[in-house]
Structure formats: C-alpha cells, structure tokens
Amino acid sequence: MHHNPISIQNVSYSYPDGTQALNQIHFYIHATERVALIGANGSGKSTLLQHLNGLLLPQTGTITIGELPMTADNLPAIRNFVGLVFQNPDNQLFMPTVWEDVTFGPMNQGLRGEALERRTELALWAVGLDPMRFGKRPAGNLSGGEKKRVAIAGVLAMEPQVIVLDEPTAQLDPRSRRQLMRLLDSLPQTQIIATHDLDLALELCNRTILLSQGQIVYDGETHAILGDADLLEQYALELPLSYSRPYCQLEHAPLR
C-alpha cells in the first residue's frame, strides 16, 4: 500500500462548451483515508471523480495515482489501482448474470480458472451476497441495494487499492442504505465518496472536501464543516438530519 496513493496538483478542466468544471484543484489523499466529496449540483464532483481513474484527463495540472502519473500509457494500471462505482448501477452492470458481471474485470486482468472463481466468490461474499444464490441471477432482477452491492463486488474483484463512489446511497430505501453504509465501513480500501447524503459523510468520513464552482472551498475535518450551518447554507447545502441540536452539544455516535 502506497503512503500517498493520490496526488492532485493544480488540475483544471473545461468542457467543449466552455464550462469550467474544475479550477486549480489541489489535494492529497493518503492510504486508508475515507474522504467525502460534497457540493451542490454542478460543483464539479462527478468531473473530479472521472479524473481519478482516467475517464477524463486533466487539461492542466498533474495527477499521480500511487506512483503512476496520469497518462494514456498508464491508464490500464491506474484503472486496476482505482475502482469506480457509478451512481446508477445499471450503467455498470451489463452482463447476462451477476457472476459474469463480477468476473468481467478480473478476466480482463488475465485471471482464469480456479483463481478467477475464487476471486469472484470472495468479492460476492465481501458485499454480503451468496455466490450460489445470486451468481446465476440476472442483475436486472435485483433490488436497488443488491445492484449496488454487485457493482461494488465487480470493483472489489479487481482488487483495487482505492474505491471511488458516486452517490452510493442514491435511490436506496432506508434499510438498503444502512446495509450499504455498513459495507463501506467494513472495507479496508481508501475510499472517495461523492455524496449529497451528508449523514453518510458524517458517519463514515473523517475528512470532507467541499467543492463550489470547480474549486475547493474547504478541505478538513468532517464535523467542523457539517456542523457549520452558515457555511453550508452559503454553498446551498443543509445540516445533516442527525444534527437536531447545536453542533457543540453533539457527540458523534459510531455506525451501528
């Protein structure tokens, strides 16, 4: 495990229509950190996530993943290092069965035979899905929470050191949300979680980065920002639902 798996230095990116999505983004993420990425719609969160495994390349600035600079030649290795879980699992699950979805990534890494079966089984068990029960099922017949788990299993099967998640609790019912949060809390990988679910950020992430108009306006301790109603309102966000009393009176309860 690298000590500094992700380094973003002065990265900017504009879309073809001239919209500047990122403007001089600069931060480091250390191994095993779990970092929330928050901000209003259009703040640049999804664009930033797509830079972390090379779906988009920076127009200015540099990105280093592990020891690899973000270049076209390094993309295969970088995509093994950083696994991306999309907001909508239907955009990620495309094979006829759950088993085939989860094996797709490691097969492209060259894994075959018993090693492939073992890797797939371990990934499914890691997300709480029995391979015998779910392996042959079409992903389209699963619940929203189960689809999210299969999408995460497909990423875990590639054994990444970093997992990037875009709105992981979107469209989940309360029970599925809680199950997913327990799963994320149990994973040892470095995690970067873009979310509007500020209660998730509060429970899972010690560090939070706030984006606004493509710039970082806060990077620090999660409790400090999520307890600051005035600052959140300034950037079109609201206090987490769990803050029913002033921040100074609250003690953060661990995830149960």
Task: Indicate the pLDDT class of residue 243, thresholds 50, 70 and 90.
Answer: confident
Counting the structural domains of the chain, the total is: 1
Question: Which is it for strands 190-194 and 207-212: parallel, antiparallel or unpaired?
Answer: unpaired
- Say if 225 falls within a structural domain: yes
Q: State what percent of residues in the chain have pLDDT above 90.
A: 88
89 has a pLDDT exceeding 60: yes
Phi, psi dihedrals of residue 251, rounded to the nearest 5°: -120, 130
What is residue 249's predicted lDDT score, i.e. its pLDDT?
Answer: 46
What is residue 171's predicted lDDT score, i.e. its pLDDT?
Answer: 84
Which has more pLDDT, 214 or 242?
214
Closest by CA position to 86, among listed 194, 203, 204, 176: 194
* Residue 68 · residue 86 · CB < 8 Å: no
Task: Indicate the pLDDT class of residue 116, thresholds 50, 70 and 90.
Answer: very high
- Say if 69 falls within a structural domain: yes
pLDDT mean over 38-61: 95
Instruction: Express each pLDDT in 155-213 by its tens digit.
Output: 999 999 999 999 999 889 998 999 999 999 999 999 999 999 999 999 999 999 999 99
CA 49, 94, 65 angle in degrees (round to 5)?
25
CATH code, 77: 3.40.50.300
- Say if 158 falls within a structural domain: yes
What is residue 5's predicted lDDT score, i.e. its pLDDT?
Answer: 85
Residue 184 CA to residue 169 CA, distance in Å, equals 11
- For the CA atoms of the chain, what is the radius of gyration? 18
Q: State what percent of residues in the chain have pLDDT above 70.
A: 93
Under DSSP, the state recorded for 190 is E
Average pLDDT, the chain: 92
- Say if 255 falls within a structural domain: no
- Say if 1 falls within a structural domain: no
- Say if 87 falls within a structural domain: yes
Closest by CA position to 6, among listed 161, 143, 134, 146: 161
3-state SS class at 27? strand
pLDDT mean over 93-115: 95
- Say if 40 falls within a structural domain: yes
- Say if 254 falls within a structural domain: no
Range of 86's domain? 6-249
3-state SS class at 244? coil
